[in-house]
Amino acid sequence: MRFLTKLFFAGSAVALFIFPQKINAENMPAAETGKIIENDLLAGLRADHPRLLLTPADWKNFSEKQKSGDRQFHALMAQLKKNADALLDAPTTGYEKQGFRLLGPARQILERVLTLSVVYRATGEEKYRRRAEKEMLAAAAFPDWNRAHFLDTAETAAGLALGYDWLYADLTPAARQTIREALIEKALRGSTDPKKNGWHRHQNNWIQVCWGGLSLAALAVAEDEPALASEVLAAARKHIHRGLAPYAPDGIYPEGPSYWDYGTTYQVLMIAALESALGTDWDLAKSPGFMASARVQLLLNGATGVSFNFSDGGEQSAFAPASYWFARKLNDPALFVPPVKNTKDRFLTLAALWWPENESSGKTHESKLPLAWHGNGINPVATFRSDATDPNALYLACKAGSARSPHGHMDAGSFVFELDGVRWSSDLGAQDYHSLESKGISIWNYGQNAQRWQIFRLNNFAHSTLTLGEQLHVAEGRTEFTEFSDGSGNAGGHFGATIDMTPVFEGQAKKAVRRFSVNPEKRSAAITDEICGMTAGTEARWAMVTKADVETRGNEAILRKNGKMLRARVSEKQLQFETIPAEPPKDGFNAPNPGTNLLLVRTKAPATGNVTITVELMPTK
């Protein structure tokens, strides 16, 4: 058997990389054999292309799928073809930064190449291959892929690596060489040096996106650059645990559902490419909480279909093609959520590639979600619902955690609440990063006095939580659930959870506890705050962010939205509701929040320093 070998020199050492078959160690000392095989990450590499995500056999199955009677699959393919047709006469993506980011063009390149390549393989029509090649060559001609913001590099590399691999046999030799050299020089070379790549130290989506894109590129060009490919894969294997660790123990992605979609998609791309190209996933999928995380996303979606968008997330639930990969792996058809017409997602083509293997799996399946659930992790979360499938059911989700988590907000104790198909308590989410950075606002420092906490949507004043003495939460304070009830074994079958809020009020109170109580039968909920040891005269402020119209009536309030009504009541009759617009200070950088109000209860600590506030949310009679 023949082997392709390549030598490279590192100082005085000579390293031998063997490609693509496993080492024949028959006449080699056992100790030496083990060392070399352990370090040969390209052992078992599939020799031919395509080998990323799908093998030739998988592509054959994909072609056969198009002959099936699966109408939802055909609707998706029709949309992809429509998207590809719209690109045929469009100019190629240009090198245009927004601030210091090239992320917009990088993502556009990725979406275009994936769409055109898959439609070409589905139809065989040469016009799609030519347009995909044109897009990749234009990207290859960029002066750089913006290593200073390496997400841009990684997403561009992912797009070109997949296009290069999927179209390999049909690209012109000159195009193959140009694209390959761009992947090597603009992405791979120098990517493993931690001194030049500060993202190596991150423990968030950056690690997954960057190593995911680089792994795709390394596997795509491995036969031509085995030494470099092995170096990148070795570094990826060494460091990817930083991106996987936050899923533990229960699958809650600490950066919220939106960033779960982002980071996890690249993690899945990396795992799927390793499996298809090398026949192994390095056991990455076995990382604690990782496989469970897809189902957690279902739990974080309310009865209305809107997600609990804590951290820097958007409220609207995003279509997540990566969930199709999880559905296959877990044999869980509930994770197959067919895309709606005209879905906008740069990874939409992945849904077609990971579509159910049989027609029946592609149909909508109801998920048997637990009515009460909680999970631990960097940002612990609890969810409650009165019914698993009724779109008008009660849904309450609340969180603990710390503002110092990746993309974190001062939102410990915050909650969203739904009833009768309306989200009554909301989370404003993040403000567009460029709108802040372009005005010189530093948003990535999480220290107590950082500018980040001057951003209204990120601090505790703009969340459905508790504030003491008009002060910020303590950024380093980490809150935890101390109690949880799923209704079993208690009178009335009530659900409940308790958060020890004391850590975020260090120096402001001796003790603070927030309790959530949910009555699924009556479809009502109560939020109780008990604060001890405040300085007399200090204000305690209970707040709920709402996009409803609010009418206050002393210790009661009526909320109206979409023709529906909700009743709120303060149990302590001496306390009263008030409302103010959820508008930030007029400082020139905070974005407005039109149509959003803060429903408030304020009270001042008596001489004892102890305060209790209980607010009940219930249907109107």
Residue 345 near residue 80, CB atoms below 8 Å: no
- pLDDT exceeds cutoff 80 at 28: no
Band (pLDDT 50/70/90 cuts) for residue 27 is: very low
Closest C-alpha among 173, 174, 125, 179 to residue 157:
179
Distance CA 397, CA 301 (A): 9
Please tell me the predicted confidence (pLDDT) of residue 489.
64
Residue 11 pLDDT: 33
Q: What percent of the chain has pLDDT over 90?
A: 85
Please provide residue 619's backbone torsions phi and psi, each rounded to the nearest 5 degrees: -65, 155
Report how far residue 410's alpha carbon sits from residue 387's, in angstroms, rounded to the nearest whole number.
30
Q: Which pLDDT score, from 0 to 100, does residue 210 have?
A: 98
DSSP string, 291-312: TTHHHHHHHTB-TTS-B--TTT
Mean pLDDT throughout 11-29?
33
**Hey, how many other C-beta atoms are within 10 angstroms of the C-beta on 125?**
12
Model confidence pLDDT, tens digit, residues 415-468: 999 999 999 999 999 999 999 999 999 999 999 999 999 999 999 999 999 999
Q: CA distances (Å), 490 to each of 4, 493, 496, 517, in order?
A: 68, 6, 10, 12
User: Does 20 sit behind a cis peptide bond, omega within 30 degrees of 0 on the bond before it?
Assistant: yes
Average pLDDT of the residues in 197-203 = 92
* Range from 22-36, 156-170, 355-369 carrying the lowest mean pLDDT: 22-36
Q: When comparing pLDDT for 38 and 99, which is higher?
A: 99
pLDDT greater than 90 at residue 493: no
**Each residue's pLDDT tens digit, 107-141:** 999 999 999 999 999 999 999 999 999 999 999 99
pLDDT for 367: 59
Pick the residue with more confidence: 70 or 341? Answer: 70
Tell me the per-residue pLDDT of 562-605, one tens digit each, with 9 for 90 and over: 999 999 999 998 999 999 999 999 999 999 999 999 999 999 99
| In the block, residue with structure tokens 């002393």 | 554
Collapse the DSSP code of 195 into the 3-class scheme (helix H, G, I; strand E, B; otherwise coil) and give the result.
Answer: coil
* pLDDT, mean of residues 517-546: 97
Q: Which two tokens stand for residue 244?
A: 């996987």
* Strand duo 13-19 + 564-570: pairing: unpaired
Q: Which pLDDT does position 341 carry in this prediction?
A: 76
Question: Rounded to a whole number, what is the largest CA-CA distance in the chain?
Answer: 88
Task: Tell me the pLDDT band of 318, cut-offs 50, 70 and 90.
Answer: low
Q: What is the pLDDT of residues 382-399, one digit of tens each?
A: 999 999 999 999 999 999
Residue 393 backbone phi and psi in degrees, to 5: -70, 160
Residue 216: per-residue pLDDT? 98
Element (H, E) at 532: strand 524-532
In this structure, are residues 159 and 113 in contact, taking their beta carbons and an 8 Å threshold? yes
Percent of the residues in the chain that have a pLDDT greater than 70, as a whole number: 91
Q: Rounded to the nearest 5°, which phi and psi values hold at 498? A: -125, 135
Between 356 and 9, where is the model more confident? Answer: 356
**Any residues with CB less than 8 A from the CB of 570 and at least 6 apart, and which?**
555, 556, 576, 577, 601, 613, 614, 615
Burial class (CB in 10 A: 0-12, 13-18, 19+), 343: middle
pLDDT score recorded for residue 490: 66
171 closest CA partner among 159, 163, 183? 163
Per the DSSP assignment, residues forming a β-bridge with 599 are: 544, 579
Question: What pairing do the DSSP bridges indicate for beta strands 466-468 and 480-485?
Answer: unpaired
More confident of the two residues 490 and 116: 116
Cβ(525)–Cβ(509) below 8 Å: no
**Predicted pLDDT of residue 358:** 67
Q: Which helix (H) or strand (E) holds 600?
A: strand 597-604
**Other CB atoms closer than 10 Å to residue 216's CB: what's the count?**
29
> What pLDDT is recorded for position 366?
58
- Under 8 Å between Cβ of 333 and 431: no
Is pLDDT larger for residue 218 or for residue 314? 218
Residue 449 CA to residue 441 CA, distance in Å, equals 13
Q: What is the DSSP letter of 101?
A: B
* Inter-residue contact 149 to 103 (CB < 8 Å): yes
In DSSP terms, 541 is beta-bridged to: 467, 602
Which residue carries 């402020």 as its tokens?
541
What is the residue type of 326?
Answer: F
Return mean pLDDT, the chain. Answer: 91
| pLDDT tens-place string over residues 129-175 | 999 999 999 999 999 999 999 999 999 999 999 999 999 999 999 99
C-alpha distances in Å from residue 620, one per residue of 102, 556, 559: 50, 11, 10
Cis omega (within 30 of 0) for bond into 288: no
- What's the CA gap between 400 and 576, in Å, rounded? 27
Q: What is the pLDDT of residues 255-264, one digit of tens each?
A: 999 999 999 9
Structure tokens at 301: 């979606």
Q: Which pLDDT value is given to residue 319?
A: 81
Q: What is the pLDDT of residue 313?
A: 82
Q: What percent of the chain is helix, strand and coil (3-state, nearest 5)? A: 35, 20, 45
Sign of the CA dihedral with 171 first, then 175, 176, and 182 last: negative
Alpha-carbon gap, residue 137 to 133, rounded angstroms: 6
pLDDT tens for each residue of 52-105: 999 999 999 999 998 888 999 999 999 999 999 999 999 999 999 999 999 999
Strand 524-532 and strand 511-519: pairing?
Answer: antiparallel
Tens-place pLDDT, residues 203-255: 899 999 999 999 999 999 999 999 999 999 999 999 999 999 999 999 999 99
Order of strands, edge to edge, in the sheet holding 381-385? Answer: 372-375, 381-385, 395-399, 415-419, 422-425
Residues 6+ apart with CB under 8 A from 586: none
CB 182 within 8 A of CB 174: no
Q: For the chain, how far is it from start to end, CA to CA, in angstroms?
A: 81
Least confident of 18-27, 90-99, 192-201: 18-27
Token pair recorded at residue 266: 């690249």
Whole-number Cα distances in Å, 254 to 52, 199, 303: 29, 18, 22
